[in-house]
Amino acid sequence: MFFQILGGTSAKEYAPFVNGFALAVWIYVAANISGGHLNPAVSFSTAACGFYPVIHTVIYIALQIIGAIVGAWVSAGLVPGAGDLIGTGASGPGCFDRGTIGEGITDEQVFGWECVMTFTLISCVYACGVAKPGHGSHTPFAVGLALLACAGSGGQYTGAALNPARVLGPMAVFQCGKDVVGLYIGGQFVAALLAMSVFAFVSGLGPLNPWLAKRALNLSWPEAVYLWITGSPPSRLQKTGRENINDFAHAFSEFYASEGSEAPPRSKILDFERCFGVRKGEWSTVSEQKAL
* Cα of 119 vs its chain's centroid, Å: 11
More confident residue, 84 or 133: 84
**pLDDT for 138-180, tens place per residue?**
899 999 999 999 999 999 999 999 999 999 999 999 999 999 9
**pLDDT for 98-143, tens place per residue?**
999 999 999 999 999 999 999 999 999 999 888 766 666 889 999 9
- Mean pLDDT (whole number) for 237-250: 78
pLDDT at residue 281 greater than cutoff 80: no
Domains assigned to the chain: 2-203 (1.20.1080.10), 210-263 (no CATH)
Angstrom distance (rounded) from CA 41 to CA 82: 28
Please answer whether residues 237 and 217 qualify as being in contact, where contact means their C-beta atoms are separated by less than 8 angstroms. yes
Please enumerate in sequence order all residues whose Cβ is within 8 A of that of 190, keeping only pairs 6 or more positions apart, or say none: 115
Please answer whether residues 280 and 288 qualify as being in contact, where contact means their C-beta atoms are separated by less than 8 angstroms. yes
Give whole-number Cα distances, 158 to 10, 130, 154, 233, in Å. 16, 29, 6, 43
Give whole-number Cα distances, 143 to 109, 126, 213, 219, 290, in Å. 24, 10, 29, 36, 18
Query: Residues 244, 250, 256, 259: is their CA dihedral positive or negative?
Result: negative
Give whole-number Cα distances, 159 to 10, 37, 114, 150, 290, in Å. 12, 21, 9, 10, 35
Please answer whether residues 49 and 209 qualify as being in contact, where contact means their C-beta atoms are separated by less than 8 angstroms. yes
- Percent pLDDT > 70 in the chain is 87
In whole numbers, what is the pLDDT of the chain averaged over residues?
86
Q: So what's the pLDDT on residue 35?
A: 77
**pLDDT for 197-207, tens place per residue?**
999 999 888 89
Residue 100 backbone phi and psi in degrees, to 5: -80, -35
Q: So what's the pLDDT on residue 131?
A: 78
- Mean pLDDT (whole number) for 187-212: 94
